[in-house]
Amino acid sequence: MARIEPYDTASGKRWRVLYRTPDRRQTTKRGFKTKRDASAFAATIEVDMLQGRYVSPSASRVTIAELAPGWLDTKRAQLAPSSYRSYEIAWRVHVDPRWGSLPAGQITRTAVQTWIAELGAQRSRAVATRALTILSGILAVAVDDKRIASNPATGITTPARARKRRVYLAARDVERLADNSEHPLLVRVLAYSGLRWGEAIALTPADIDHERARIHVHRAVTDVGRQLTVSSPKTPGSTRSVPVPAFLLEQLAEHTRELGRDDLLFPSPSGGFMYSPDVRRGWYARAVRAAGLQRLTIHDLRHTAASLAIRSGAPVLAVQRMLGHTSAAMTLDTYADLFDEDLDDLAARMDKLYRPQS
């Protein structure tokens, strides 16, 4: 049981609460101006200890910067190098400068919500979400270690921003782009298979199954600080077999005729892995300008592959497997705008049901 005692100070009578922590250490909280305030604190402490929610004042003084290394080390073991690097950068640029020196026990939900709103107004929603994930993850460690009673970063909403309209090329545009490119086959592979850049540049002839018309994706190249490393694909679902159109399979067969099974399909001039081309001056940007197309990124070719597959009538599950998405829901959410024609068709079919048959 907590005990309440008065004591004298130069400013007058004050009250203190004496109690034992769950590990039986004697603790004192001083400075209450009234006995009522001291009693309220004592009651709260007793309830917290009974419910297992007690946090010692000294434990809550640990700073976010002191907790961060352990959380980041866990993420390093869980994530691909490129994904981990994005978290490490977000910690250094956005989280540490704002929260690193603060004790975990002093962080409030209101302060976190204000920070995220300001960050979202300045940067993309993805940046704000990643920064919030880091802070919330570190605070979750503090909760698990009994340093704070609850996580003030849970339930925080990131600012919604208008979704950027994607660029989808028609097949004739893909061919114009390929014809103006230094790497026409690579452009076609990206645009008709939906492979990510890192997956495509890791391909070898051994990954092409000519009998089943498939590309087997089982590894990817990631760029971590301008160092190219080979790792597993982005997610477990990214290890997959991707269907290849007959015309593209023929071009791949011709391209690999003189290559060994383990040679790279698309090597750099030095024979190693290709770096992603410079977005303004690289071979891809030059091809886009030469083809007279609007500005689009290498990743837009993956979106183009999804567009071509959906417009050809492919089921959502097939598109999901082709792209290596973790679920069909993710595919539907990512490419919701491509299903507008389905809505038009749905309206026409419902109208046909309503009208009397002639």
pLDDT digits (tens, 9 = 90+) for 229-270: 887 777 777 889 999 999 999 999 999 999 999 999 999 999
Residue 349 lies in a domain: no
Range ranked top by mean pLDDT from 160-174, 199-213, 331-345: 199-213
Is the pTM value of this prediction over 0.85?
no
Q: In what order do the strands lie in the sheet with 240-243?
A: 208-209, 214-217, 240-243
Which two structure tokens, joined as six digits, stand for 257? Answer: 């005729």
Please answer whether residues 82 and 222 qualify as being in contact, where contact means their C-beta atoms are separated by less than 8 angstroms: yes
Residues 103 and 179 in one domain: no
List pLDDT tens digits, range 8-34.
999 899 999 888 877 677 888 888 999
For the residues of 73-98, what is the DSSP string, one character each? HHHHHHS-HHHHHHHHHHIIIIIHHH
Residue 199 lies in a domain: yes
Mean pLDDT to the nearest integer, 306-323: 90
Strand partners, 190: none
Residues 10 and 83 in one domain: no
Residue 230 lies in a domain: yes
Percent residues over pLDDT 90 in the chain: 57
Cα of 317 vs its chain's centroid, Å? 22
Residue 59 lies in a domain: no
Residues 216 and 244 in one domain: yes
Q: What are phi and psi of 322, to 5 degrees?
A: -60, -45
Which two structure tokens, joined as six digits, stand for 220? Answer: 């990817």
Residues 36 and 106 in one domain: no
Spatial separation of the C-alpha atoms in residues 177 and 304, rounded to whole Å: 12
- Containing domain of residue 47, as a range? 3-54
Helices (H), 79-214: 81-90, 96-99, 109-122, 125-144, 171-179, 184-193, 197-200
Spatial separation of the C-alpha atoms in residues 324 and 236, rounded to whole Å: 8
Q: Which amino acid is at 77?
A: A
164 has pLDDT over 70: no
Please answer whether residues 156 and 270 qualify as being in contact, where contact means their C-beta atoms are separated by less than 8 angstroms: no
State the CATH number of the domain containing residue 229.
1.10.443.10
Which two structure tokens, joined as six digits, stand for 44? Answer: 């709260």
For the residues of 18-48, what is the DSSP string, one character each? EEE-TT--EEEEEEESSHHHHHHHHHHHHHH
Can you say whether the dihedral through the CA atoms of 258, 263, 267, 272 is positive or negative?
A: negative
Residue 314 lies in a domain: yes
Residue 352 lies in a domain: no
State the CATH number of the domain containing residue 101.
1.10.150.130
